[in-house]
Structures are given as C-alpha cells and as structure tokens.
Amino acid sequence: MTKWVYGFGGGSAEGRSDMRELLGGKGANLAEMCNLGLPVPPGFTITTEVCTAFYDNDRAYPDGLNAEVETALAAVEKLVGRSFGDAKDPLLVSVRSGARASMPGMMDTVLNLGLNDETVEALASVSGDRRFAYDSYRRFIQMYGDVVLGVDHYHFEDILETVKEDKGVTLDTDMSADDWAEVVEAFKKKVQSELGQPFPQDPREQLWGAIGAVFGSWMNARANTYRRLHNIPASWGTAVNVQAMVFGNMGNDCATGVCFSRNPSTGEDRFYGEYLINAQGEDVVAGIRTPAPLTEIEKQESGSDLISMEAAMPRVFKELCDIREKLESHYRDMQDMEFTVESGKLYMLQTRAGKRTAKAALRIAVEMCRDGVISQKDAIMRVNPAQLDQLLHPTLDPEADRKVVGMGLPASPGAASGQIVFSAEVAEEWAGKGRKVILVRIETSPEDIAGMHAAQGILTSRGGMTSHAAVVARGMGTPCVCGAGAVKIDYANKTMMSGGVTLKEGDVITLDGATGEVMLGEVATLKPDLSGDFSQLMEWADVLRRLKIRTNAETPEEAETARGFGAEGIGLCRTEHMFFDPERIISMREMILAETEQGRRSALAKLLPYQRQDFIDLFRIMKGLPVTIRLLDPPLHEFLPHGDAEIAEVAKAAGVSEAIVKRRLLDLAEANPMLGHRGCRLGISYPEIYEMQARAIFEAAIEVTKDGGDPVIPEIMIPLIVGKKELEILKAAIIKVAAEVEDEKGAKLKYLVGTMIELPRAALRAGEIAEEAEFFSFGTNDLTQTTFGLSRDDAARFLDTYIAKDIFAGDPFVSLDQDGVGELVSLAAERGRATRSDIKLGICGEHGGDPASIAFCEAQGLDYVSCSPYRVPIARLAAAQAALGK
Ligand code: PEP
Ligand code: MG
C-alpha cells in the first residue's frame, strides 16, 4: 500500500533528506533536521504523490489519505500535548507548500490554522495574552481568506487601515486586544459578504481547505509560468507540510528570523541573517518592520541602531550558531535557515541550500574544497556556469535606483550607460570626442561595425539572439539588448519611444544586457572581479574537462581577451568582419563593383596586405594554438552602401558612375539573402576572392614562423557547403595557392582544409564530404536556421509565443535543439568519422557557449567548442561539468 503521509517530530522522522522527490525540499529537510536531533516543531508531510494522484483523479484525494492524516495529526497532538480544535488548549498548525525545487509561484503559507471563535478564547487564556490571541486570529483569517478562499488581500488591508484610523493608531503594535477583536469581526463580515458564506469555523474543514489550496496552487498561472521558465515538469507535484505552530510573537522573549550559514552575496564564511523580536515569520519577509541584524559584526558593518540577536538573546544565539555549524557540515553546503524563538526556546522551521550570487558561489565552493569539506568535483558542480556571466562584465549596482522603460532580449551581458545615437557614424564621431554612447538601431549590419565598436552598448528593436547585433556584441563583450520590439525608433527625427517616454539623440539610457532591461538615465555599475577564487575554480575545471575551448574572434582585442580568459585557439575567425575598416571597405567595394575578373583581382591585390597583417596579428597572439579561418561568407551586397549620399561617395571613390553602383546594388539584391549568394557560393563564382584570402593566410603563417616564431598550422574553413563537390573544387584551389606560396618563399607549409557543416544536406552527406574535409565545424546558427526553416533575424518576433505555448522548450538559437538539429550533428559526426577516423570536430555556432549545448557536444565526443571571448570561462566550467556527467 502506498504511504501518503510521513510524520516527523520528537527527535525522529519517517522521512530523510534524500527523499525530496517524495517529500519536497521543505519536507525532506524538516525530516532530516528531526533525525539530527534539532528542535523542530512536530508535524507531517503529505507527499508529492498525493498531488499527482489528485490531478490524475479529477482532483480527488486517494483512498486512505484521510485516515493517514488523522493518525499523523494524533501523533503531533501527543507530542505537543494539545488537541486540534480543543476548546481549552488547542493545537494550532501551519500549512505550507513544498515542491522538489523551491517555487515562489505557489501558495506559500497559512499560519495559526485551527483558530475559530471558540479556540481563540482558549488561546487567550492559555497564553494569558488576549491581545496576542486575537492578533493571531486576524492574521489567520487574512491569510486563509486570501490564499484559500480567494478573498483579495487588499480587502483586509483596507479594513485594517480604517480601524487603525478610527482608533488613531499608526502601528500594529499599538492595537489593543479589543481593537484586534473588532478587526476579526470586520474580517469575518467581509468574507461573508464576498463569498456568501461564513468563514469556516470547523478546524478540520480549515485544514482540508488549506491542503486543497496547496495542491490547487500547483496548477495556478504563476506556478505554471515559473515551472516553464525553470524547466520544472508538472508531473513532479508539490508536497504539503502541516506542522505544529510555534509563536515568535508572544512577547519580548520571542522572535523570528532568517539566516544564512555564510554570506549569500559575498560568500564570506560568517554567520549572517536578520531577525525580529516579538514577530511572526511573515513579518520579516513582508518588510513591515525593519529586521535587526543577527550578529554584532553585522550590526557594526551596517551601522544599524537595532539590537542584534547576539546581544539580545545570547543563549539562544549560541544555540543557533551551533545549529548553523551542524547543518552546514551535514549538508556540506551553505544553508538558508528559518527559525522562531517561542518564550526563549529555539525552533528550526526550515533549512535548504541557500541561493547565492556568482561571487559567493565561487568563494564558497573554493573555500569548502580547501577546507576538505567537498571534493574538487563537488566544487565544480556547485557553480552554475551561466552565472559566471555576472562576474565577467560590469554589472548594475543592485543598490542603485532604476527606471525601466523597455525590455528586449538579453543578447550580450554587462551593463552600460551612455547617450543615445541612431547611426554608427554618429556613434564613432561622438565616441571620438570622448563621449559615451549607446547605439540604437532597428537592426545592425556589418557596415555599422565601427560604430558598434565605439559604443558602450547596443540596443536594437529587431533581431534575435543570433542577429548581427547580438553576435558581434558578444564577440566584443559589449552589452547588447536586441529585439526590443516595443521600442519605436524614428531615424528621421532621431528619437526613440519606449515605455511611454520619448527620448532624443543625446539623452542618456542604461542597458542591462544580462536581463534585457532598458533604463532611463545612468545607473551605477560595479566592476568585474576575477580574483583568486575564479581562477582557482577554472584551474580545477581545466584538469577535469576533455573538450577543448576555442573562441570566435577576428580582432586582436578579441583574441587577446579570449586568451586572457583561457581560450585554447580560435575556432572561428569570420574574415568578413575584417573588411569594414574605412581603408579596406573602399577596395572591397571596388572589387564588388568590378565588371571583370581582372578588375576584381586588382582590387583584391589591395586587400591582400591588410588581410595578411590581420592573420599575422592573430597567429602571434595565439602563439601556435590552432586558428580556424573561415573564408568570406556573407552576400556581397552587405558591403555596399545603401543611402544616396553614400552611393555618390562610393561611386566617386571607385571612379564609376552612380548609375553603375545602383545597378550593381540591384543585381546583388536577393529576396532571401540568407539562402542566397553567400558562403562558398561566392568562392565558386569568384575563385579569386578565396585565392586572395588563402594567400594572405599562407604568407602570414610563413612570416610568423620565419624567425623562430611558434609554429602555425592554419585551419582553412569553407562555409555553407551542401556537398563534397564544392569542397573538392575550393580545396584544390587552396592547395594550388599553397604550392605557389611555398615556391615563392622557399618554405614548407602545414595547414588543414575543412568545412563548416551548417546546412542539413551537408550533415547528411558528411560521409563523402569527409573524403575532402580534414575537419568539420558545426555552424549551428545556420544549421538551426535551415533545419527549422526559421530566419535567424526574424524569429525573435514570434518565438515568445512558441515558447509560451510549449511548442519550443526555449529559443533554439540559444540552446541547441538536441532532438532535431542535434540529430543532424550526431549523424554528421558519425558519418564523418566513418570516412576519416581522426577527423577534427568542433562547433562554432553561438551554442558553443551554452552549457546545455556543451554537454551535448561532450556526449557526441566533439573535440572542441568555440564561443565568443566572454563566454570562454563559462564554457571551461560547463565542459568540466559535462565531463563529470552533469
Ligand atoms: C553558424 O552558422 O553557426 C556560424 C558560426 O556562422 P555565422 O554565424 O557566421 O553564419
Ligand atoms: Mg553560418
């Protein structure tokens, strides 16, 4: 027979901490604290299986539950020596929800359950404090009315305010017993008028009402949303904890509080917390009264003039300190605990692993490992890689005021403030004068690169997480909010409208690229701190991981940053980004405008020295580490000007008529450029482009190695192939260039030629492609786009709906769709290896920096992941966790 109810109290429990699936986090830990002999008010947990059965059976409870609850309740009565509903000395209980994972979206707590018109008088006489009894009763009606009966909170608040006004009282503490009794009467009347029936007086009816409300709240809208956002399956269910009440509000030898075994924001190994004398649990959280510091040190540091618990209740404080140590060493993790002191006696109401900042997470993990409490593996598993982002960029000062006027996608983390400008040119110009600017664009294009570089932050109203703005900003480590659809940008008038505010060029905004928030004015930030704990944990992670971590970088700054963060090579150098420099773009455009191969070759000859220098710089920075260089990928029209003034300028510089420029623009226009004349298709149409790039790479390699420099083995990568044939043609051309350069320079070259796998057909034909390719790099941005038939730049507009309707678990451009796109990756890896057993495999789409996708890459046995420089540490940690089988 299934056991539905687990009792605890009196120094033992039927449950244990490893039963959180069945008992929920709260229930399992209450049981464990009892088993550890800690003072816990007795109670019982109704299991998560009851919740599941409840929903499976049309909201009916399983047979036998009633009897088990009665038995458990009787055991509690026996332990405390009081009876539930007793007219002389009643047992009162709290009812709390408790899922496996903490879920703020659900019903939380009903306290003082069991009070009615009769038992309130009994409580008054037993406690000798009528005021306390009626205060407890009104709190109960208010909580129960709100969370169980659905009578809105504000009704009760209004009544309370009116009574206080009538009495000329401002503080709750100044209310007398009769005042509270009056409030109780008014509350009951309100319930009657709102519901057409009286407030339930029968304690058992109250109890089952509260239990039903907890189970009902599992499926409320807030809980559903929370579960969706945190990937918690509905099938887990919640448990219900019923526990004897203890009172922190029965006088000045009573208190209630919340404490952490270490500081949750800094991680410092020092007891930390807040408490209130003569108060009930919710008062600390509700912010009605300012809680006092737990310890004397905290009091001094915060400058609080309230009396610390250490000073006010030294004996109980000492006991709490002992419990802190006991729980932390038992759970081997920082604990977040709730306690109540009733008439000088301490009770523990909850313990759980405490939420913490990234900084605290690192410090706690490293210090616990050094102290021999946890292993290096545990330490690595304790830190959430995604959370490291908080440490790598300046972040908003949590203390600072902020006025949020808009919201977009959190495309590139970090916080930035500056004056808004609406064009890349103005961004550059203003930044040149030392101003801080935020570039605001509907979307960005490669033409904007210099302005993007000059900007402190980037805001776009269109485009998703792999849009140009997002990818480039992440590479540069520039905070970026993109796809903020509600922000209306008017280029002509140089204004943006957001959140009902119209801002003009020069106005100051702040972006938080980690949350997607757009804020008015300048908000203070905190500097990143990559001190000892950070590098220590990274060192441990490096020993444990198998996957290599490379970076996507094309500028020397990006390459340096990535090296600093521990990148082990470049996995993707997008060469097109190198052509937007003002000096180069002229030759690039000349090349595009040329009508003949000869014309193109002469323009390309001007670009060659620049490209060579780019590669020399990258090779030098990477000191012999692998560098994968992708040949030109985007459609040529991206390099051409669009406005009339710019067209005129380009025509003049190239010595052709404006008409020719315009005609060429028309020639190059494509209805769907993402699927158009780009990638290796350019190399097939204009072999001279890739020949120039290959030559630049080879000449640079020879240059860097010639004076005893580190050996360079460039990896030349061809984008967007659909099959073997393209690669065969292009590889032959590259080999020919290599031979020519070797002849000219009298040197030997070592290099690899490989390809991106970023189209479904290429994945399917990977077996024969591997006959030519010495490596594959999965371009999962394009592979996601083409597998889903979902535009990288436009999908953001409706992805939210897809996610809300549970069609997609999340944005497939952020975390790899392992079922679909992943199957193609897996299949291509398998077919590639079947042809060439030592083929090098990596991933260079944005997924290379996403921990879940990295775990997938580990499972596929890829050799490396490549991600933007600022994600390198995240990838190092995620790769170690993946290797440990997370
Ligand atoms: C990709 O498609 O995944 C890729 C890395 O290339 P890009 O983002 O430059 O198209
Ligand atoms: Mg691509």
pLDDT digits (tens, 9 = 90+) for 504-525: 999 999 999 888 999 999 999 8
**Looking at residue 833, which CATH number applies to its domain?**
3.20.20.60
CATH classification at residue 52: 3.30.1490.20
List the shell of residues around ion ligand 2, using CB closer than 5 Å: 758, 779, 782
**Smallest CA separation from ligand 1 atom 9, residue:** 574
Ligand 1 within 6 A of 758 CB?
A: yes
850 and 721 both lie in a single domain? yes
Q: Torsions phi, psi of 792, nearest 5?
A: -60, -35
Q: Is the CB of 574 inside a 6 Å radius of any atom of ligand 1?
A: yes
> Which percentage of the chain shows pLDDT scores above 70?
98
Q: Do both 329 and 200 map to the same domain?
A: no
* High-pLDDT (> 90) share of the chain, %: 74
Q: Which of 844, 847, 857, 867 is catalytic?
A: 844
Q: How many CB atoms lie within 10 A of CB 419?
A: 19
493 and 564 share one domain: no
Nearest CA to ligand 1 atom 6: 779
Query: What is the CATH classification number for the domain harbouring 300?
Result: 3.30.470.20
- The alpha carbon of 757 and the centre of ligand 1 are apart by a number of angstroms equal to 10
The alpha carbon torsion through 610, 623, 715, 870 (nearest 10 deg) reads -90
In a domain, residue 381? The reply is no
Ligand 1 site, residue 27, Cβ cutoff 6 A: no
Question: Do 191 and 328 reside in the same domain of the chain?
Answer: no
- The answer to whether residue 49 is domain-embedded is yes
Q: CA–CA separation, 246 vs 249, rounded Å?
A: 9
819: CA distance to ligand 2 center in Å? 20
Asked if residue 413 has its Cβ within 6 Å of ligand 1, the reply is: no
514 and 419 in a single domain? The answer is: yes
Average pLDDT in the 255-273 region? 91
- Ligand 1 proximity of 781 Cβ (cutoff 6 Å): yes
Structural domain contains residue 620: yes
Ligand 1: distance of its center to the CA of 574 in Å?
A: 9
The DSSP string of 200-251 is P--HHHHHHHHHHHHHHHTTSHHHHHHHHHTT--GGG-EEEEEEE---S-SS
Please name the residue that has the structure tokens 């049309």. 58
In the set 393, 453, 468, 847, the catalytic residue is 468
| Residue 110 and residue 95 in contact, taking contact as beta carbons nearer than 8 Å | yes
pLDDT tens for 528-538 read: 767 689 999 99
Model confidence band, residue 226 (pLDDT cutoffs 50, 70, 90): confident
Number of H helices, E strands in the chain: 35, 34
Taking 60 as the threshold, does the pLDDT of residue 286 lie above it? no
Distance from residue 33's CA to the centre of ligand 1 (Å): 52
What number of CA atoms fall less than 13 Å from residue 395's CA on the CB side? 16
Whether 568 is in a domain gets the answer yes
> Ligand 1 pocket, 782 CB below 6 A?
yes
Tell me how many degrees the CA angle 749-753-758 measures, rounded to the nearest 5: 155
Instruction: Give the pLDDT confidence score for residue 746 in this predicted structure.
Output: 95
Question: What's the whole-number mean pLDDT along residues 765-789?
Answer: 98
> Distance from the CA of 780 to the center of ligand 1, in angstroms?
7
Q: Is 267 left (phi over 0), alpha (psi -120 to 50) or beta?
A: left
Q: What is the pLDDT of residue 649?
A: 86
Q: What are phi and psi of 759, to 5 degrees?
A: -130, 145
In a mutational test of the pocket of ligand 1, which residue from 718, 782, 862, 871 has the highest number of ligand atoms less than 8 Å from its CB? Answer: 782
Q: Which of helix, strand or coil describes residue 24?
A: helix
Give 455 Cα–ligand 2 centroid separation in angstroms: 25
Which ligand 1 atom lies nearest to the CA of residue 844? 5
Judge if 179 and 297 occupy the same domain.
no
User: Measured between alpha carbons, how far is 383 from 369 in angstroms, rounded to an integer?
Assistant: 13
Q: Cα separation of 788 and 790, whole Å?
A: 5
Say which residue, 431 or 477, is predicted with more confidence.
431
Looking at every residue in the chain, the average pLDDT score rounds to 93
Q: How far is the CA of 445 from the centre of ligand 1 (A)?
A: 15
Residue 641 has what pLDDT? 85
886 band by pLDDT with thresholds 50, 70 and 90: low
Q: Which pTM was predicted?
A: 0.81
Mean pLDDT, residues 649-676: 89
CB 777 near ligand 1, within 6 Å: no
Cα 628 from Cα 570, distance rounded (Å):
6
Whether the per-residue pLDDT at 100 is higher than 80: the answer is yes
Point out the ligand 1 atom lying closest to the alpha carbon of residue 781: 3
The pLDDT, as a whole number, for residue 743 is 98
Q: Does the beta carbon of 545 sit less than 6 angstroms from any atom of ligand 1?
A: no
Please tell me the residue having the least CA distance from ligand 1 atom 8: 781
Domain hosting residue 150, numbered range: 5-244
Ligand 1 touching residue 780 (CB < 6 A): yes
Most informative mutation of 465, 468, 471, 572 for ligand 1 (most atoms within 8 A of CB): 572
**pLDDT score, position 220:** 85
Q: Which ligand is nearest to the CA of 777?
A: 1
Q: Ligand 1 centroid vs 35 CA: distance in angstroms?
A: 55
- The pLDDT of 681-699, averaged and rounded, is 98
Distance 605 CA to ligand 2 centre (A): 26
pLDDT tens digits, 585-637? 889 999 999 889 999 999 999 999 999 999 999 999 999 999 999 999 999 99
Q: Are 123 and 136 in contact (CB under 8 A)?
A: yes
To test the pocket of ligand 1, the residue of 576, 781, 791 to mutate (highest count of ligand atoms within 8 Å of its CB) is 781
Query: Which pLDDT score, from 0 to 100, does residue 284 have?
Result: 64
Q: Is 572 in the pocket of ligand 1 (CB under 6 A)?
A: yes
Ligand 1 atom closest to the CA of 572, numbered from 1: 5
Q: Which atom of ligand 1 is nearest to the CA of 552?
A: 5
- Report pLDDT for 339: 96
Q: Is the CB of 633 inside a 6 Å radius of any atom of ligand 1?
A: yes
Element (H, E) at 693: helix 687-706
| Predicted pLDDT at 867 | 97
Answer yes or no: do 466 and 577 share one domain: no
> Ligand 1: distance of its center to the CA of 782 in Å?
6
Nearest ligand to the C-alpha atom of residue 779: 1
Mutate to test the pocket of ligand 1, among 576, 633, 853 (most ligand atoms within 8 A of CB): 633
Cβ of 476 below 6 Å from ligand 1:
no
How many domains is the chain built from?
4
| Residue 677 is among the residues annotated as catalytic for this protein | no
Nearest ligand 1 atom to the CA of 719 is 6
Report the range of poorest mean pLDDT among 284-293, 406-415, 575-584.
284-293
User: Which ligand has the minimum distance to the alpha carbon of residue 576?
Assistant: 1
Is 390's pLDDT higher than 80?
no
Say if 387 falls within a structural domain: no
Q: What is the CATH number of the domain that holds 511?
A: 3.50.30.10
Contact 454, 464 (CB under 8 A): no
Q: Which of 15-19, 42-46, 707-711 has the lowest mean pLDDT?
A: 707-711
Q: Say yes or no: 84 and 229 in one domain.
A: yes
Q: Is 813 contained in some domain?
A: yes
Q: Give pLDDT tens digits for 327-378.
A: 999 999 999 999 999 999 999 999 999 888 788 899 999 999 999 999 999 9
Annotation marks residue 844 as catalytic: yes
Cα of 628 from ligand 1 centre, angstroms: 13
Mutate-to-test residue for ligand 1 from 574, 755, 821, highest number of ligand atoms within 8 A of CB? 574
Look at 245 and 794; give whichever has higher pLDDT. Answer: 245
Q: Is 845 in the pocket of ligand 1 (CB under 6 A)?
A: yes
Looking at all shown ligands, the one closest to residue 720's CA atom is 2
Query: How many other β-carbons are positioned within 10 Å of the β-carbon of residue 533?
Result: 23
Contacts of 528 (CB under 8 A, 6+ apart): 391, 392, 393, 394, 395
Structure confidence at residue 178 as a pLDDT band (50, 70, 90): very high
State whether 238 and 269 are in the same domain.
Answer: no
CA–centroid distance, 313 to ligand 1, in Å, is 62
Over range 796-811, report the average pLDDT: 85
Predicted local confidence at residue 135, as pLDDT: 93
Nearest CA to ligand 1 atom 1: 779
How many degrees, rounded to 5, is the angle at CA 610 between CA 588 and CA 559?
110
Residues 340 and 436 in one domain: no
272 and 238 housed in the same domain: no
CA of 847 to the centre of ligand 2 (A): 12
Q: Cα-Cα-Cα-Cα dihedral of 298, 300, 305, 307, to 10°?
A: 50
pLDDT at 482 > cutoff 60: yes
Nearest-atom index, ligand 1, CA of 780: 3
Do 259 and 237 fall into the same domain? no
Can you tell me which atom of ligand 1 is nearest the CA of 779? 3
Give the residue, by CA position, lying nearest to ligand 1 atom 10. Answer: 782
Identify which of 844, 846, 847 to mutate to test ligand 1's pocket (most ligand atoms within 8 A of the CB): 844
Residue 383 lies in a domain: no
What pLDDT does residue 583 have? 84
Indicate whether residue 738 lines ligand 1 (CB < 6 A): no
Q: What is the CA radius of gyration of the chain?
A: 33
Residue 361 included in any domain: no
Decide if pLDDT at 224 tops 90. Answer: no
- Please tell me the residue having the least CA distance from ligand 1 atom 4: 779
Q: For ligand 1, is residue 576 a contact (CB within 6 Å)? A: no
